[in-house]
Structure 1
Amino acid sequence: MDNVEHSDVAENNKVPETLDVVNPYDQTYIESIATVIWGDIDKYLSTAHQLYKDCNQWIPAFERVSILKKAAVLISQRADELAFLIANEGGKPLADARVEVTRAIDGVELCAKEISKLIGSQIPMDLTQAGAGRIAFTTKEPIGVVVAVSAFNHPLNLIVHQVAPAVAAGCPVLVKPARDTPLSCKAFVDILHEAGLPPQWCRFVACDISTSEKMITDPRVAFFSFIGSANIGWMLRSKLAPGTRCALEHGGVAPVIIDESADIDAMIPSLLKGGFYHSGQVCVSVQRIYAPKDKAKNIAQLLAEGAAKLIVGNAIDEKTECGPLIRPKEVDRVEEWVDEAVAAGAILMTGGKRLGESTYAPTVLFEPPANAKVSTMEIFGPVVCVYGYDDIDEAIEQANSLDYAFQAAVFTKNLDIATKAIRELDATAVMVNDHTAFRVDWMPFAGRKHSGYNTGGIAYTMHDMSQDKMAVIKL
């Protein structure tokens, strides 16, 4: 045997490890699950690939509709249980976890509805003499085996956005959740099976990093869906097998521009929600706010007053508004970045300290240096930065200065300023008089540049997981 064969034998003979899931606030044990070794994943891929290759085994559209509708009902019946699970394993406050469950229900129902829109079109053939005497049309087919790798911050709804479209498009799918939050993912996969989806069409795959990379880069994979950090996403894309398509959703350093005409009193609650929702652990969380110089300090102070009132604690406590960061080492990192910015001249308006091993105080910084980490990198924590500007063109230039571009926002009562921001901000979506973290699940959702590749959103993902086939009939 050569080295590769020896390696495969070792992988196949591995004993599954046990993954302990804990509450990120106090590390309280929740549950243990067994990880999946390569030998099992190899079998899953083979089965999934064979299901795809034999079109006679494809699940008819009406059955997919029925399965998804039943799944939505089952999620509704278990809404409280799932919301508690999201809060307990992921640290998202219960109030927000309940919203996530509602979104998951809506997302599954939307997938069922969108199946009716997986349609082809007639192609005119007699536009030239060469095509005359023929009729042609296209149909939609599933792209093949989908592998989805997800993040921790929306442990149910992200899985819905990756897995339910695959089911709707008729693709077999293997899904690897974040190691911190596998239980919500497993619950959804189990619900799909209970709703009538044969288990071989959707597999829950909790595994280690090396095994997941082997699965992702396997030539049997037709589509790779990834939600996570830019470094890992781009690395994995570079290793995909020839022909494998992908969608990557990374993070951003979301900018907000405040115009002179903005309604400040109405704006502050929106910015607080956009900046401190899930303790800033959102890929489009408000991070950089640019305000006119004569108003910037006051805006920072108003934000600081609101942030200081937020209740930080265990996400399963009904009173909690800001939960823990997902791991203690993330608190270490946020603390380091904030301390660095303050040492370099940023004014600390509120926060700037850890409250425990797993929590960090909601923090507002005024005028951190433009080259500080908090100004140039996604902090993924409860930190918002405010900067003053003299000219709105300068603010737009600063907003566009990074390699990350996702969602952006502008607050203004001036239509000219609104249209200028929409036109000139480098973003896939520009919110007017709303925070950058706004999203509904049927809208396109995507990052530019380092922030991602391809477009998310239910219908857009189903399109990516489908392919056209044309029939040309000579009369």
Structure 2
Amino acid sequence: MVQAKVEAEQKLFINGEWRKAKEYTPLYSPYSREEISKIPMASLQETEDAIEAAVQAQAAMRKLTAYERSEILYNLVNLLKQNYDRAAEIIALEAAKPIGTAKAEVDRTIQTYKFAAQEAGQLFGETIPLDAAPGGQNRLGYTKLEPLGVIGAITPFNFPMNLVAHKVGPAIATGNTIVLKPASQTPLSSFFLAELLHEAGMPAGALNVITGSGRVVGDHIVTHEKVKMITFTGSPEVGKQIRERAGLKRVTLELGSNSAVIVDKDTEIDRVIGRCVQGAFSFQGQVCISLQRVYVHENIYDAFVEKFIQETNKLTIGDPLDEKTDVSALISKGDVDRALAWINEAKEQGATVVTGGKAEGNILLPTVIVNASSQLKVSCQEVFAPIVVINPVSSVEQAVEEVNDSRFGLQAGIYTRDIQKAMWVSDRLEVGGVMINDIPTFRVDNMPYGGVKESGTGREGIKYAVREMAETKLVVVNNNY
């Protein structure tokens, strides 16, 4: 496959223009460790310039009709289709995401912006029956949705195109302006987006893309009085800091998870094994709703583990730009070292590694661990690596207790033929989403997505994000006058 052309030195995108920064840092491929490009490190002043550009662009965005905002988003959809291969190759290059998985992300990104384009024309309020209260007779009340203003978007490395779309798409649909800080390892997708949106007709300053230190760029965005909302996807630790420092800003946080699936005794193992392996190891497990914990009824446990190992060992390891690759490098050597340390802790505490458990360069081989206690890091923390824990349970009730024994609560799943049992479980799982007869890794881009506990606050999914990014204004007409 021909590698996507990447400029040797990137520029900041501020007020509709590409601006050379004063400082740069090298960007390396997680797979080959070769330098891909040099990335700008925005200063405090450059961050301020980006925010001010977004403030000044609010007037132009407010003037756009719903049709015009929708048209910009549809233009972007068409440009993404025209640049499909380039988009996928950029993701594969900067994130070491296998090219097949990268293409799936581009497909989802296109769909996400389509949903945003549709939502731009659905920003309606409601009429209020004011005469339902004494003193409200002969008055008309209605609500309307208005943009908040400047949205600060801080995004992670694992879905550098689609998770950005889940913030930028609804912001455009609602007429807001955006200051986007992408993850340091995967900024190329966001610079590419800026290039396409500029071509799609986005007003100058309505989208600004700046890269740099979280302590400089991120903190200034979070604390700036002219930024009206922060939408963040990342770690719980950083999310908590943002919540504390954001003041009265509106904040949406999509944080961590150690998602689980329950496999009941009546499950046809052969029908679910492939799906479970996919959920555990897609993009090296670096997915918020990656399948990390599996609780299997003891009657079918041994057979399940045996078939899971067989399916895992069929995965192809290698270059992310190779169409045959299923699993490639983790995002950094530090993450490889951390994952290996957690695996060693599990072995020392009595768990068994039945396949994987070692690294080849920055590639951690898909790892299956059995009989791991809930206190081990591979169970109770978010591994964000190709590691899955499979434990036996004696009942669905026990499995629910195990799933809920977590500080996270994003999504969970259950496989069972008993619909009453499935509904009972769905009522008791402490998560934001329950997938019946599927893995917790399922997500389509129009569904409400978010968690409870330390998995975050607020919901994404375009329709739901649009509501987060809009202000409700009440208008009352007194017809007694």
Q: Which residue of 2 aligns with 1:403?
A: 407
Aligned to 2:128: 123
In the TM superposition, what are the counterparts of 1:170-189 in structure 2 within 5 Å? 170-189=175-194
Alignment match, 2:11: none
- What is the correspondence of 1:132-171 to structure 2 with a 5 Å cutoff? 132-171=137-176
Pick one of 201, 204, 208 that aligns with 1:199: 204
- 1:11 is aligned to none
Query: 1:15: how far off?
Result: 6.6
**CA deviation profile, 1:60-109 (whole Å, cap 9, x unmatched):** 21211111110100000000001011001011111111111111111111
Task: Tell me which amino acid in the other structure corresponds to 1:36.
Answer: A
Instruction: Tell me by how many angstroms 1:295 deviates.
Output: 2.1
The CA distance in 1 between the partners of 2:468 and 2:61, in whole Å, is: 22
For residues 244-393 of structure 1, the aligned pairs below 5 Å read 244-356=249-361, 358-393=362-397
Query: 204-213 or 163-172, which moves further after superposition?
Result: 204-213
Separation in 2 of the partners of 1:371 and 1:43? Answer: 47
The alpha carbon displacement at 1:37 in A equals: 1.7
Structure 1 residue matching 2:121: 3-state secondary structure:
helix
Q: 2:473 aligns with which of 464, 469, 475?
A: 469
> Is 1:237 equivalent to 2:240 in the alignment?
no
Q: 1:49 aligns with which of 52, 55, 77?
A: 55
Which residue of 19, 24, 27 corresponds with 2:30?
Answer: 24
Match of 2:3?
Answer: none
RMSD: 1.5
Give the counterpart letter for 1:285 in structure 2.
S
- What's 1:422 paired with? 426
In structure 2, do the counterparts of structure 1 residues 57 and 468 end up closer, same or farther at CA, with 3 Å as the change threshold? closer
* Equivalent position amino acid for 1:32 in 2: K
SS in structure 1 of the partner of residue 466 of structure 2: helix
Deviating more after overlay: 151-160 vs 306-315: 306-315
| Native 8 Å contact 2:56 2:205 kept in 1 | no
Query: Does the CA-based 8 Å contact 2:262-2:414 persist in structure 1?
Result: yes
Query: What SS is found at the alignment partner of 1:387?
Result: strand
Q: Following the alignment from structure 1 to structure 2, what is the Cα–Cα distance between the partners of residues 213 and 112?
A: 31
User: How far, CA to CA, are the matches of 1:50 and 1:67 in structure 2?
Assistant: 19
- How far has the Cα of 1:22 moved from its partner? 2.1
- Give the C-alpha shift of residue 347 in structure 1: 1.5
More moved, 27-36 vs 146-155: 27-36
Contact 2:73–2:200 (8 Å) recurs in 1: yes
2:85 to 77, 80, 86: 80
Separation in structure 2 between the aligned mates of residue 259 and residue 177 of structure 1, nearest angstrom: 40
CA distance in structure 1 between the partners assigned to 2:173 and 2:21 by the alignment: 34
Q: Under a length normalisation based on structure 2, what TM-score does the superposition of the two structures give? A: 0.93
Residue pairs, 1:52-67, within 5 angstroms:
52=58, 54=59, 57-67=62-72
Q: Tell me how far 1:57 sits from its aligned partner.
A: 5.0
Determine if contact 2:57/2:204 at 8 Å carries over to the other structure. Answer: no
C-alpha separation between the residues in 2 aligned to 1:97 and 1:332? Answer: 25
2:363 and 2:122 mapped to 1: Cα distance?
Answer: 45
Structure 2 residue matching 1:311: 3-state secondary structure: coil
- How far the C-alpha of 1:199 sits from its partner, in A, is 2.5
- Point out the more displaced range, 176-185 or 409-418: 409-418
Match of 1:223 in 2: 229
The number of residues matched between the two structures is 459
After superposition, the Cα gap between the structure-2 partners of 1:57 and 1:440, relative to the gap in structure 1 and judged at 3 Å, is closer
Deviation, 1:425, is 1.2
User: CA separation in 2, counterparts of 1:329 and 1:173?
Assistant: 31
Contact 1:91/1:325 (8 A) holds in 2: yes
Q: Which amino acid in 1 is paired with 2:442?
A: F
**Residue type of the partner of 1:249?**
E
3-state SS, counterpart of residue 305 of structure 1: helix
Q: Decide which of 447, 455, 458 is 2:459's aligned counterpart.
A: 455
Q: What are the superposed Cα offsets for residues 364-401 of structure 1, whole Å, 9 maximum, x if unpaired?
A: 11111221111111100001111111122111101101
What is the aligned partner in structure 2 of residue 100 from structure 1?
Answer: 105
Mapped to 1, the partners of 2:358 and 2:126 lie a distance apart of 59
Q: Percent identity?
A: 33
Aligned to 1:432: 436
**In 2, Cα distance between equivalents of 1:56 and 1:399:** 45
Partner SS for 1:116: coil
Q: Which is further off, 265-274 or 342-351? A: 342-351
1:3 is aligned to none
Query: Which secondary structure state, in structure 1, belongs to the residue aligned with residue 360 of structure 2?
Result: coil
Amino acid corresponding to residue 91 of structure 2 in structure 1: I
Partner-residue secondary structure (3-state), 2:392: strand
Distance in 2, Cα, partners of 1:360 & 1:127: 63
Mapped to 2, the partners of 1:281 and 1:319 lie a distance apart of 19
